[in-house]
Chain A
Amino acid sequence: MTAVISTFEVCRYFGDDQETMVKAVDRVSIEIERGEFTAIVGPSGSGKTTLLHLLGGLDNPTSGSVELSGANIADMSGATLSDFRRDHIGFIFQAYNLIPVFSAEENIEYIMLLQGVDASERKRRVADMLQQIGLEGLGNRRPNKLSGGQQQRVAIARAMVSHPQIILADEPTANLDSKNGIALLDLMKELNQQSKMTFVFSTHDEKIMSRASRLIHMHDGEIELDELR
Chain B
Amino acid sequence: MLTIKLAFRNLFRNTRRTILTVMLIALSLTALIAVDGVMRGMLTLLVDNVTGTLSGDAQVHRVGYRENLDVDLFMENSGSIEQTLQQDTSLRSFSPRVISGAMISSTYNVAAGILYGIDAEREQANSKVKAAVMRGEYLSGGDNELLIGHSLADLLETDLGDRIVLTLSEATTGELAQALFRISGILDFGVRELDDNFVFINIASARKTLAMTDQQTHEFVLTFLNPEDAENPEHGIFQQFNNTEIEALSWLDLNKEISFIIELMAYSSLMIGAVLFLLASLGVINSIFMSIYERIYEFGVIKAIGTRPSEIVRLILWEALLLALISCVIGMLLGFAVGSWTATNGLGGLGEIEFSGITLGNNILGEFHISQFTTFPFFAVLLTLAAALYPARFAAKIVPSEALQRSL
A-side residues, CB < 8 A to B, are 49-50, 53, 56, 58-59, 78-79, 82-83, 85-87, 89-91, 93-97, 99-102, 106, 109-111, 113-115, 158-159, 162, 170, 175
Contact = CB atoms under 8 A, between A and B. Distances in A.
B305 A95 contact: no
Contact of A82 (B297, B303, B399): B303
17 contacts: A59-B401, A78-B309, A82-B306, A82-B308, A83-B306, A85-B304, A85-B306, A86-B305, A87-B306, A93-B301, A100-B298, A101-B6, A101-B10, A110-B6, A111-B306, A114-B311, A170-B404
Nearest to A90: B305
A94 B297 CA distance: 12
Nearest to B12: A101
Contacts, number: 82
Interface of B: 2-3, 5-6, 9-10, 13, 297-298, 301-311, 399-401, 404-405, 408
Task: List 3 tightest A-B contacts by C-beta distance, closest first.
Answer: A86-B306, A101-B9, A59-B401
A97 B10 CA distance: 16
Given A94-B408, A95-B408, A109-B2, A102 B9 contact: yes
A2 B5 CA distance: 42
A114 B311 CA distance: 9
A156 to B, nearest CB: 13
A96 B301 contact: yes
A58 B6 contact: no
Contacts of A101: 6, 9-10, 13
B6 A91 contact: no
A101 B14 CA distance: 12
A91 B308 CA distance: 15
Q: Is the interface of B mostly helix, strand, loop or mixed?
A: helix
Given A99-B302, A106-B2, A106-B5, A79 B297 contact: no
A110 B307 CA distance: 10
A100 B298 CA distance: 9
Given A96-B301, A101-B13, A79 B401 contact: no
Nearest to A102: B6
Nearest to B304: A91
B308 A58 contact: no
B404 A114 contact: no
Nearest to B3: A113
A58 B404 contact: yes
A79 B308 contact: yes
A95 B408 CA distance: 8
Contacts of B303: 82
A96 B297 contact: yes
A104 B13 CA distance: 17
Contacts of A93: 301, 304, 404
Contact of B401 (A53, A87, A94, A115): A53
Contacts of B408: 94-96, 175
Nearest to A98: B301
A178 B298 CA distance: 25
A97 B161 CA distance: 96
A87 B302 CA distance: 14
Most chain B beta-carbon neighbours within 10 Å: one of A56, A85, A89, A111 = A85
A58 B399 CA distance: 8
A21 B399 CA distance: 21
A111 B2 contact: no
A106 B10 CA distance: 14
A79 B400 CA distance: 13
A111 B298 CA distance: 14
